[in-house]
Amino acid sequence: MQSDFRGRNFISDLDFSVEEIDTILDLAWDLKKKRALREPTAYLRDKALAMLFFFSSTRTRGAFETAAAHLGAHPAFIESRTTQISHGDTEREIGQILGRMYDGIAIRHVDWGTGNRYINLVAEASPVPVLNMQCEYYHPFQILTDLMTIIEKKGRNLRRKKMVMSWAYASSYQKPMSIPNSMVLQMPRFGIDLVLAHPPEFKLPDFIMEQAKEEARKAGVGFEVTDDMEAAFKDADVIYPKSWGPWMTTTDQEESGRIINKYKDWITDERKMALAKPDAIFMHPLPADRNVEVTDAVMDGPQSVIFDEAENKMHVCASVMALTMA
């Protein structure tokens, strides 16, 4: 078990080793058990967490706020547009000022070409841990949440389990690619055979793919890329559809919309779910465009674990905060 977490940032998925993530998950399960037994877990009493949002949130905000409260810390919600950030506060100033007032800084900033750089610049200046609540490249807390949920449903030994990370059609907006990026980086490290399915225009960045292939090679697992959604679903243990924009093809919103609308048949419905194993689980980080990205019958069906998944984010957030902010 690794225990040297104090003061460390969690910005990209590879910031922690496999052994360290095992420790994070072990603590998350312990916190979940204590929560169920109504046992106190005030490991961060008299601490405070700054939660800086440049992008709206439901589950991530709720998970971080409740996690901090359960640990005895005070979570402070800060919306960027209602602060002086919009009038000139620099990343260094935010890192120094919030870092001197708070015991941790969590940031969600998904603007393309801006978010990850912003979080890292704040981290360079901050004397306290900086936690990535999502940027345009990574969503590390979500993927640890997903890993925790998969282990709960499929057991600790995930070797030879097949997981499908599939692009899905959604018309609401051009969504970040942070979840598929984080998924291909993290899941192979834990023995999962990963299949990445997407239309040709929705490729992930070359540097992410190179890292993912190397992690799969080191772990001795399969890593396949396909543009055939139905072939990907065949005999899968875990189905995880998610929309993201064609960022590697274009950043123009109108052109993106035209490309996205070519693939309205990339929807997870009962017929496609039937291609997976009978005990396959359906996962989604939410929100989903219902009956566009995935049907109600799948979302609300017996194979869906979306609400267990959502709850587990609270325990993962609490675990990382307890380890890094103590």
For residues 130 and 107, what is the distance between their CA atoms, to the nearest angstrom?
A: 8
Instruction: Give pTM, 2 decimals.
Output: 0.95
- Radius of gyration for the chain, computed over Cα atoms and rounded to the nearest angstrom: 19
Give residue 88's pLDDT: 86
C-alpha dist (Å) from residue 5 to 108, 146, 156, 158, 322: 21, 21, 23, 25, 9
- In degrees, rounded to 5, the angle at the alpha carbon of residue 98 between the alpha carbons of residues 94 and 104 is 120
Give residue 172's pLDDT: 65
Query: What does the pLDDT average to over 285-309?
Result: 96
The 8-class DSSP code of residue 167 comes to: E
Question: What are 157-214's pLDDT values in tens digits?
Answer: 999 999 999 999 998 668 999 999 999 999 999 999 999 999 999 999 999 999 999 9
One-letter identity of residue 259: I
- Res. 146 pLDDT band, cuts 50 70 90: very high
Structural contact between residues 179 and 246, judged by C-beta atoms closer than 8 angstroms:
no
For residues 180 and 30, what is the distance between their CA atoms, to the nearest angstrom?
A: 28
List, in order of start, the domains of the chain with CATH numbers: 13-139+312-325 (3.40.50.1370), 140-309 (3.40.50.1370)
Helical (H) or strand (E) element with 11 = none
Give residue 9's pLDDT: 98
Question: What are 88-137's pLDDT values in tens digits?
Answer: 899 999 999 999 999 999 999 999 999 999 999 999 999 999 999 999 99
pLDDT greater than 80 at residue 312: yes
Give residue 84's pLDDT: 84
Mean pLDDT computed over every residue of the chain: 96
Structural contact between residues 289 and 171, judged by C-beta atoms closer than 8 angstroms:
yes
Strands of the sheet with 223-226, listed across from one edge: 223-226, 193-197, 162-167, 238-242, 281-282
Helical (H) or strand (E) element with 53 = strand 48-53
For residues 301 and 7, what is the distance between their CA atoms, to the nearest angstrom?
A: 42
Give residue 208's pLDDT: 98
Query: What does the pLDDT average to over 128-148?
Result: 98
Give residue 242's pLDDT: 96
Give residue 1's pLDDT: 64
